[in-house]
Amino acid sequence: MSVSPPTHELEVPPLLAAERLDLFLAAALPGLTRSRLQGLIKAGKVVLDGQPAAKSGQLLRGGERIRVEEQPPAPLEAVAQDIALDVLFEDDDLLVLNKPPGLVTHPAPGHPDGTLVNALLHHCATLSRGSAEARPGIVHRLDKDTSGLLVVAKNDPAHLSLARQFEERSTEKFYLALVRGWPRGESGRIDAPIGRHRTDRKKMAVVAAGAGRSALTTWRVLQRFGPEALGLPAALVECQLHTGRTHQIRVHLKHLGHPILGDATYGGPVKGVRPEPARQLLHAWRLALAHPRTGQRLSFEAPPPADFGLAALGVRL
């Protein structure tokens, strides 16, 4: 039996007069991205006082009644593709790999193939069902331009065990980041909730208590660099994730005042960096977890790729 897509009934508060329609809907319906809402408006699925909304940017008067009829997204079907993988460990239950920058973890709108999942389907005889369709084996993910260690489940019991470890925070996840400027002190903790950015639904932000999900990152400075090394003061920072929120380290380091070099979303363009990074210089460096079948503690380490430029900076990890 098919299930009808949900419908949302909203009323615009008078205080929000002159707000854009798509911005109002993005704030009122956090489960829908702004681009998704704009697509619904274009498809005539957003009805404003009985009439289909004319455009995403139309300004509200206050007091309008709005009905939003969701449409299910087109299903994604992952296919096997012969894409090279840097596998560090593999047995019948799991696989640990070093993901290169630029590789999307799983198919999504705009990235239907050429992803890590497509490579896994070619490499592995079996994978867990995953957390959603088109995500077989995927227990956790890394952003497209974040490199480093990622664990994959090859069967459902392994997936359940690994997912529970991430949820209960019994895994250990350490990242390396090259950041702008010199953090005050040698180490610290950032305990700040993270939620959707109020106006840009593709971004996350530190938000007020109760408006997002708790997020904790601890950090320590491994090395500092003067302007003569990179063109501006910078630091190599090790971050440990104690929670797993979307873009957590990137958002927290920006909140600290030291965004990651090359992070166009949270750091913006930086003049004078030599060489100019092609992506955010963030790398999942160390990972420790319990084997889902034996319980044995497994630890992995993967050095950052060449684009970090650590060898030229004389850094030895």
Give the span between the Cα atoms of 171 and 149, in whole angstroms: 13
Q: Are 283 and 250 in contact (CB under 8 A)?
A: no
At residue 224's C-alpha, the angle toward residues 218 and 230, to 5°, is 120
Comparing CA positions, the residue from 214, 222, 129, 133 lying closest to residue 169 is 214
C-alpha distances out from residue 288 to 149, 164, 165, 301, Å: 10, 14, 10, 9
Any catalytic annotation for residue 143? yes
- CB atoms closer than 10 angstroms to residue 70: 17
Query: CB-based contacts of 262: which residues, under 8 Å, 6+ apart?
Result: 145, 178, 273, 276, 277, 278, 279, 280, 281
Q: Are 226 and 232 in contact (CB under 8 A)?
A: no
Specify the long-range contacts of residues 193-197, CB closer than 8 Å, at least 24 apart.
194/245, 194/246, 194/247, 194/248, 194/251, 194/252, 195/30, 196/30
Pick the catalytic residue: 49, 82, 113, 143?
A: 143
Give the span between the Cα atoms of 21 and 24, in whole angstroms: 5
Q: Which H or E run contains 219?
A: strand 216-225
C-alpha distances out from residue 76 to 34, 133, 143, 176, 261, Å: 20, 7, 19, 33, 33
Q: Which amino acid is at 287?
A: L
Q: Are 69 and 37 in contact (CB under 8 A)?
A: no
At residue 162's C-alpha, the angle toward residues 89 and 220, to 5°, is 80
| Catalytic machinery residues | 143
